[in-house]
Amino acid sequence: MLVTGDPVPGVERARGPFVELIRHTLAGAWSGPLAVLDARRGELPALADTTALVITGSPESVTSRAPWILAAETRTAELVRSGVPALGICFGHQLLGQALGGLVEANPRGREIGTVELERFADDPLFDGAPPAFDANMSHCDSVTRLPEGARVLARTRLDPNAAVRFGERAWGVQFHPEFDGEVMRGYVAARLDRLVAEGIDPGALATSDAPEAARVLRTFARLAGS
């Protein structure tokens, strides 16, 4: 797992870092070893012994072009092009998109936060057994606004037309957080309260609930990566 950031402080204190949220959501679906590397410290997965890759979310922005982000993009592109199964979550989704030749920018539709409806419009093994529309938990300001060549959009939301993308034969990105349940989502809304009000978003109007179908996507990826 490639760590690229930490949850908001209140969530991290209550529930742990992204690694623990993802472990909890996997619920034993991945039986192999789980190495944890922190891209911010220059730790990157080796090409020779990486069997699958999950890239976490982050409060950082891919658009900053920080040196550690550039290094992570380069290694991620190498892994994907060598056939390593990869799943990018939120920031990780954006990092994958940029690394493979797309473009990440501030979402022209504004911040997306809370439990939102995800509309599928393409079949894909990552969504095996999922209904045509289901709830997913979001917290982002940036988006993949231009897809890499050959990428295929799998799902969208009202504010993000590229909410789930298949970037390659075994590489996917989801703008939503499959590891977020309702409690975590409420923690994010509380942490962003002042910003939401300043942006004209009514925090009381935001849905914050469990999203079991979105959570299942993480376990499905583990199954696909292990097959």
Measured CA distances, 55 to 65, 96, 127, 168 (Å): 17, 9, 19, 15
Active-site annotation holder among 60, 73, 90, 112: 90
Query: CA-CA distance, 127 to 98, in Å (whole number)?
Result: 23
Q: Is 141 known to be catalytic?
A: no
Query: CA-CA distance, 177 to 187, in Å (whole number)?
Result: 14
Active-site annotation holder among 93, 112, 140, 177: 177
- Bridge pairing between strands 86-89 and 53-55: parallel
Sequence-distant (≥ 6) Cβ neighbours of residue 97 within 8 angstroms: 88, 103, 104, 144, 147, 148, 151, 162, 165, 167, 173
Q: Is 24 known to be catalytic?
A: no
Q: Do residues 21 and 185 lie in contact, with contact meaning Cβ atoms separated by under 8 Å?
A: no
137: three-class secondary structure by DSSP: strand
Q: Is 179 known to be catalytic?
A: yes
Query: CA-CA distance, 155 to 134, in Å (whole number)?
Result: 10
Active-site annotation holder among 60, 73, 112, 179: 179
Beta bridge partners of 142: 106
Catalytic residue ranges:
90, 177, 179
